[in-house]
Chains A and B, each alone.
Chain A
Amino acid sequence: MPEAVLPLDEPVRLGALLGLDILDTPPEGAYDDIVKLAAELCETPIALISLVDEHRQWFKAAHGLDAKETPRAFAFCAHAIHAPNEPLIVSNAEHDPRFADNPLVTGDPNIRFYAGIPLVTKSGQQPIGTLCVISDEVRELSDGQLKTLTVLANHAEKLLHLREATKELINQQFELQQQQHELARLGRLALAGELVAEVSHEMGQPLFAISALSATLEIMNEQRGWEYGRTSVLIGRLHEACGHAGQILTRLRQFVRNVPPAFETCDINEILGSTVEFLDFQCRRNEVNIQLNLASSPLNVRANSAHLQQVAVNLFINAFEAMDEVDAADRALMVTSRQEDDSIIVEISDSGPGLTVSDEAAFKAFRTTKADGLGMGLSICSRIIENHSGRISASSRAGEGATFRIELPKAG
């Protein structure tokens, strides 16, 4: 008995079948209805939706047959899938050299007649199985019955395509989630880098003062140079410097405080204000003049304030870096906030050279071309704003700087 020769792209075909994740799943009414109709309309005792696995054919739906699967070596369907675009019709298996000694022909269920329409996947057009009708009588299909069988096979194929699309969507969603986690992690790392810069600068000041004052006291002690008034002043200054160091830590703690992921009502002006405070050092180091033009009343949004702060930090640093090549006197960062109808608008404009890519492509380009903190930063910004049901957009005119605009729904 000649076994069906494996199709040339068998690994691809099997991959497509396994990708559907359909093998050994429970019966489904939609497929059952198709085989039932096929058997009725083609007047055969058996109808199957058979999927050709590596070593077996497995039946997603079977009418008139108890088996859930049979070895691939005996499968008529394994032959049918070699010509994915045409039906395989065997009128009398006993007279067909391919099937005459097939145990399914010589023994139970004594197949004589077989008609199978190959089922093909949507992506890659891989034949994964058939819709087939089987009888123990020698016979033919009428033109009408063949047409009906073909239509039913199309329906079965559509069901499989739907499953394929759903699978793909789930996979994409999973990948997207993975990417988002990775982006968020990188974003946190980038922010951590900024924090280290900030902490090491801010803490350096009081610690320098503390160490100089304590060394002074030590020297005075060695020299027995105690003098009540002077000592008191030095000790007072020591206390003050310690207090200052403590304040810095408190402020940083507040900045990175573990906000639960739940959304809360927060004032966007407060977030912008504390971001300016947080970036004071970078701002002075980059010699950027910040103009705050915030709405006079609170602009409340439902938000994860830590996430929005991360967006603001990223956009500010982005702007600072964009203005590196600009004369220090012309480095200006304009931050405005206002309410428009039911939206809160924040605009961050720099006086840099403008975006080097088209406005629409800005975020996309940053996403794909830059793998450093900045590129990740902008990509995360847009994700975070999207998660807040908002929009972020960029616009620029050559030589007139870039403006990043965030639109968030006003808290109800």
Chain B
Amino acid sequence: MQRVGIIDDDDRVRFSVQMLLEISGFEVETFASAEEFLACQDFSRFACLIVDFRLPELSGLELLRILRRQQVLTPALISSGFISESEAAEFVAAGAFDVLHKPVDPKQLVGTIRDIIARAGSLQNPPYSAAG
């Protein structure tokens, strides 16, 4: 079973996305902050991450950069509320797989995660390079 990590400070979003992904056949772990996620150390257990762009202390972008610096290349989807094109571009430059605008269409989210996992499985390298 594929495990997805959700990093979001909004309890409602965490819970509902967890429910959606679990019923869709994924295992889910949730984290309320970037720090909480970084503390888990073993990142290899995640097939995919869903990161809120706006997190209380370390931002989503900073988390992504830290992970990429540590050569953690887990595909990451950024979920964002209000984000400018330049901010979205920054995420992509930092190695985000895609930026999703809230409210994210649930079926699209599930589909995208399946795609990411399928692609990662079929390629030797993840579909992007370490950056940021």
Contact = CB atoms under 8 A, between A and B. Distances in A.
Interface in B1-21: 10, 12-13, 15-17, 19-20
B105 interface: yes
A270 to B, nearest CB: 26
B54 interface: yes
Contacts of A287: 59
A284 B58 CA distance: 11
A109 interface: no
Contacts of B24: 219
A295 B19 CA distance: 46
Interface in A136-151: none
B106 interface: yes
B82 A211 contact: no
Interface string A173-191: 0000000000000000000
A209 B82 contact: no
B23 A205 contact: no
A317 B13 CA distance: 28
Nearest to B83: A201
Nearest to A207: B103
Contacts of A219: 20, 23-24
Interface string B75-109: 00001011000000000000000000111111101
A219 B22 CA distance: 11
Most chain B beta-carbon contacts within 10 A, residue among A208, A211, A223, A281: A208
B8 to A, nearest CB: 9
Contact of A209 (B15, B23, B105): B15
A213 B103 contact: no
B127 interface: no
A215 B101 CA distance: 17
A361 interface: no
A382 to B, nearest CB: 29
A216 B20 contact: yes
Contacts of B121: none
Nearest to B57: A287
A212 interface: yes
Interface string B18-49: 01100110000000000000000000000000
Contacts of B107: 215
Interface residues of B, number: 25
A197 B20 contact: no
Most buried by B among A197, A205, A234, A284: A205
B20 A205 contact: no
Contact of A216 (B19, B56, B79): B19
A323 interface: no
A253 interface: no
A21 B19 CA distance: 77
A273 interface: no
A373 to B, nearest CB: 15
A291 B83 CA distance: 26
A205 B102 contact: yes
Given A204-B103, A237-B12, A215 B20 contact: yes
B79 A208 contact: yes
B89 to A, nearest CB: 16
A106 to B, nearest CB: 84
Contact of B12 (A198, A201, A206, A216): A206
Contact of A205 (B13, B59, B101, B106): B13
Contacts of B106: 211-212, 214-216
A25 interface: no
B19 A213 contact: yes
B13 A200 contact: no
A46 interface: no
A285 B12 CA distance: 20
A187 to B, nearest CB: 21
Contact of A201 (B17, B19, B82): B82
Given A216-B16, A241-B12, A208 B56 contact: no
Given A215-B106, A284-B56, A209 B101 contact: no
A240 B12 CA distance: 9
A219 B24 CA distance: 8
B23 A212 contact: no
Nearest to A200: B82
Contacts of A200: 81-82
A198 B81 CA distance: 9
A246 interface: no
Given A201-B81, A213-B20, 19 more contacts: A200-B81, A204-B101, A205-B13, A205-B81, A205-B102, A206-B12, A207-B102, A208-B104, A209-B12, A209-B15, A210-B16, A211-B104, A211-B105, A212-B106, A212-B109, A214-B106, A216-B19, A219-B24, A241-B12
By Cβ-Cβ distance, the 10 closest A-B pairs, closest first, are: A204-B102, A215-B106, A201-B81, A207-B103, A212-B16, A204-B81, A209-B16, A209-B12, A208-B103, A212-B20
Interface of A: 197-198, 200-216, 219-220, 223, 225, 234, 237, 240-241, 244, 281, 284-285, 287
